[in-house]
Structure 1
């Protein structure tokens, strides 16, 4: 299974690829606000995944030392999602709200796909 840092590196690569596609979609199609919304949501979603990665590292270190950890940053990640939605609501001419929310979920879809691919590769190596 992949460790969290390796998954985050894959997430960043996927984000840059997606942002490039969103820029192309924004410039070349009449659906500019949808592509900008997806890009905005994916950016904030990757930020949320970075927060989760950092907090999981802290959680693991504290667990090894026998200390308690207050939280995994759920409130901060929730606030980031609210901020992305607030930007989309404030600037509806530029950002489509529903596509922003879909963009927020993209890093988790990439995480699921990466885990599935890793599982399939590991099961094929065992045969």
Structure 2
């Protein structure tokens, strides 16, 4: 089974690909607020995923060595999500709120899709 960092890097590639599509959508369509919301939410979601991967790696090492880990960082991840939503509420004419929320959920969608992909084809 691959380690947490390997899984994170693979999912990071998918999310960066989605971010590049969002940037193209922002640059070439008239839906600038929606795509900017997706970009902001997905960027914050990617940061949250990085925090989670880092904390999970520490947690795994602590379990193996018999140590303790304070937490997996739920409060810090929630704070970054709140910050992204606050930015969209403060600047509603620039950043679409629902797109930010969808962007924040994007890494979790990627995680679920990757899980189902591995469940169907476990050796890929």
TM-score, reference length from structure 2? 0.91
CA RMSD of aligned residues (A): 1.4
CA distance in 1, matches of 2:61, 2:27: 45
Counterpart of 1:107 in structure 2 is: 107
Shift of 1:2: 4.4
Counterpart of 2:8 in structure 1 is: 8
Q: Given that residues 2 and 115 in structure 1 are in contact (C-alpha distance below 8 angstroms), is that contact kept between their aligned partners in structure 2? A: no
CA distance in 2, matches of 1:61, 1:32: 43
> Map of 1:1-127 to 2, 5 A cutoff?
1-122=1-122
CA distance in 2, matches of 1:95, 1:11: 25
- Runs of 4+ residues over 4 Å off in structure 1: none
Q: Given that residues 2 and 118 in structure 1 are in contact (C-alpha distance below 8 angstroms), is that contact kept between their aligned partners in structure 2? A: no
CA distance in 2, matches of 1:75, 1:37: 22
Unaligned 5+ segments in structure 1 are none
Aligned residues: 123
Unaligned 5+ segments in structure 2 are none
